[in-house]
Amino acid sequence: MLDILREYWVPLIKQPKSTIRRAMDETSTNCLFVLISLFGITLCLEQAMNRDAGNTTSTPAIIILSIVIGPIMGVIAWFLGSLCTYGMARLFGGVASFRETREASAWATVAYTTKLALFIPMLLIFREENFTSITPDIDSSMFLALLFFLCLTASFVMSIYYFVVYPKIIGEIHEIGSWKGFASIVLIPVVLISLLILVALALN
């Protein structure tokens, strides 16, 4: 399993369209579990950083909670995302099955999960200030402030690139092209968010 992950991780980021079918041919249940768990852990850590969770929770607790809850979050996000993407892709004339869409969606997460390679040194360098709104050590050092900014920029770029890789993979397996693949991924979430905003405005 680890050999398969090592073999396809970087090629999927560099050349997703030409790599995804070979990766899917060698996908096992264990492989899916690892991909989805790492995706969920990355989601949890990023949410903790964005929400300044360290203001109320210790860094060790954040890390432990991410490791425990992350895989569950990953499964939920992966399954619902795959379901929405599959439905829209079929409307656009896609040919892949739901199982193939789930596998492809799991492999697409490598572009996002690569952030873990960035988070680990960030945890070692910036420690609890990754998760707090008050950052005295970072604020008192121009070098640390610049390094922290570069890390956040790299993390943002990785998030954007995930939405470059994912549509290419969906477009390839469904044979609908990258643009329709992108629409398949974002349309339902955009519609749901818009409806929630409208409901919230109406209630207010």
What percent of the chain has a predicted confidence (pLDDT) above 70? 98
Confidence of residue 201 (pLDDT cuts 50, 70, 90): confident
CA distance readout (Å), 176 to 15, 93, 134, 179: 17, 7, 47, 8
Please spell the DSSP secondary structure of 43-89, one letter per residue. HHHHHHHHTTGGGTS-HHHHHHHHHHHHHHHHHHHHHHHHHHHHHHH
Q: Which two tokens stand for residue 71?
A: 């895989």
Global confidence as pTM: 0.88
Name the average pLDDT for the chain: 90
Q: What is the DSSP letter of 130?
A: G
Percent of the chain with pLDDT over 90: 61
- Quote the CA–CA distance of 1 and 37 in Å, as a whole number: 14
Give yes or no for residue 5 having a pLDDT over 90.
no
* Minimum mean pLDDT range among 25-29, 31-35, 47-51, 101-105: 25-29
- Quick one: average pLDDT of 186-202? 83
* Mean pLDDT to the nearest integer, 176-201: 87
- Structural domain span for residue 119: 2-203
- In this prediction, residue 1 has a pLDDT band, given cuts at 50, 70 and 90, of low
- Enter the DSSP assignment of 97: -
pLDDT tens for 24-45 read 888 888 899 999 999 999 999 9
Residue range 106-165, pLDDT digits in tens: 999 999 999 999 998 999 999 898 999 888 888 888 999 999 999 999 999 999 999 999
Count structural domains, the chain. Answer: 1
Q: Which of 11-25, 59-73, 75-89 has the lowest mean pLDDT?
A: 11-25
